[in-house]
Structure formats: structure tokens, C-alpha cells
Amino acid sequence: MQKLNQKYVNSIVRKALKEDLNPKGDITTNILESKNKIIKAKIISRQNGIISGIDFCKTAFKLAGKETIFKSKINDGKKIKNNKVVATIKAKIKTILIAERTALNFLSHASGISTLTNKFVKNVSNKTKICCTRKTTPNLRLLEKYAVKKGGGYNHRYNLSDEFLIKDNHIAISNIKKIVSEAVKNKKGKKITVEVDNLNQLKKIIGLKFNTVLFD
């Protein structure tokens, strides 16, 4: 599993701002006479939940305007109640208007994932783990898996290199016992998980040295 760091955050946020600003910037904000005036703004929650994505939110404002002073009132992974201040921003009007939607998109998306994950976590026993999959938004996997962890969940494999996961599609084009045996030969420290559709498939691989069975 890769780690979320500032280099990654900067890269993702830059792409998002570029998407919003190309080719000629914020043409509406650009016509405001007071666009360079320094003001204060607040981000306020609109429901109870788990906060996530603060660094992405902060970075959006910082990249839009170097003068930005961003103060978070809560950390990722913490519960927040409706109508509470998440963060304050002191910056030029143009900075706030340019960055606000991108910043809030990251914050809302990540917090939504953390909040939903936490609902599942609270409804299972302590012996049960809520895990995420690779069914993520392209190019946002690291953020989304980070948000799952902040909601109390666990990350499954990050990408196709992390472990052998023999699924129904693999089994459909190969003999299940043969493909599991090949995985065991090429294991090299990697975990082996096998997805089975029925007990007959399970019986065919009992005795082979795989790690986990996934019941579909």
C-alpha cells in the first residue's frame, strides 16, 4: 500500500485546479474590482460525519494563492457535528473563489467515504473488518483508500501487484486447481486469495497452500 504524502496531494490538487482553470482562468472572478482584497472565510459542516481530506482542501487554497492562511479546526478521522466550523481561510477574494469548489470537492468526497465506512464499521463486531476494493475513482485510489482508513475501515490490496487474487474471470479461462498451483509456485512472499462460487470449487483446491478463500 502506497502512503499518502504531500507530493501526491500537490500533484492531484494541481491537476484538479488545472481542470477547472484551463485555458483562461476564472473569467468571472477576474472582472471583480475587489478581487485582491484579503478576506476571511469559513468552511462549515452541513451534517454529522467523519472528516477526511483536510490536506487536499488546504492545498487547493495554498496553490491558488501563496498568501493563504488556512487553519483547520478538526483533524482527519474525527467526528464532526452539523453546523460546526471545519476550517477558516484568510486569503485574497480571487484565491478563495478560484479554489473553493476544488477544495470542497476533495473534502466532501473523502469525508463522505469516511462517514459511510464508519456506519458499516459501527454495525459489525470487533472481529469483523470492513475492507475496501479496487473499485475506485481513476487516479483517486490513494485518497479513497485513505478515507476508508479514516472511517475505521481497512485497505484490501492496493493494486494488481499486491497479491494473487484468483477470481471467477481467471477460473473461467483456466482450471482452478492448476491456476492456484501456479500461484503457489510463483508466490515469492505474496498472499494468495481464491474466489470460489461453490463448494465443488473449494474441494478442488483444499490442501493447496493458499491464504484466503473469498466466497462469492
Active site residues: 101, 135, 167, 195, 216
214 DSSP β-pair partners? 195
CA distance linking residue 86 with residue 74, whole number of Å: 6
CA distance linking residue 33 with residue 174, whole number of Å: 68
Give strand ranges (E) for the chain: 38-44, 49-50, 69-72, 79-80, 85-92, 131-132, 154-155, 164-166, 192-196, 212-215
β pairing state of 192-196 and 212-215: parallel
